[in-house]
Amino acid sequence: MTHQIIPCLWFENQAEEAVNFYVSVFRNSKIENISRYGKEGFEIHGQPEGSVLTVDFEINGQRFTALNGGPMFKFTEAISFQVFCDTQQEIDHYWNKLTENGGEESYCGWLKDKYGISWQIVPAVLTDLMKDPEKSGRVTKTFLQMKKFDIEKILNA
* Domain segments of the chain as ranges: 8-68, 80-156
Q: Which residues pair with 120 in a beta bridge?
A: 82, 110
CA distance 93 to 68: 28
**What's the CATH fold of domain 8-68?**
3.30.720
Contact criterion met (CB below 8 Å) for 57 and 95: no
The predicted-structure confidence for 47-101, as pLDDT tens digits, reads as follows 899 999 999 999 999 999 999 999 999 999 999 999 999 999 999 999 999 999 9
pLDDT at 1 over 60: no
- Work out the number of other CB atoms within 10 angstroms of the CB of residue 46: 9
Question: At the top level of CATH, which class does the domain 80-156 belong to?
Answer: alpha beta
The pTM (predicted TM-score) of the whole model is 0.91
The DSSP output letter for 103 is -
Phi-psi region for residue 117, left (φ > 0), alpha (ψ -120 to 50) or beta?
Answer: beta
Residue 79 is predicted with a pLDDT of: 96
What's the alpha-carbon Rg for the chain, to the nearest Å?
A: 18
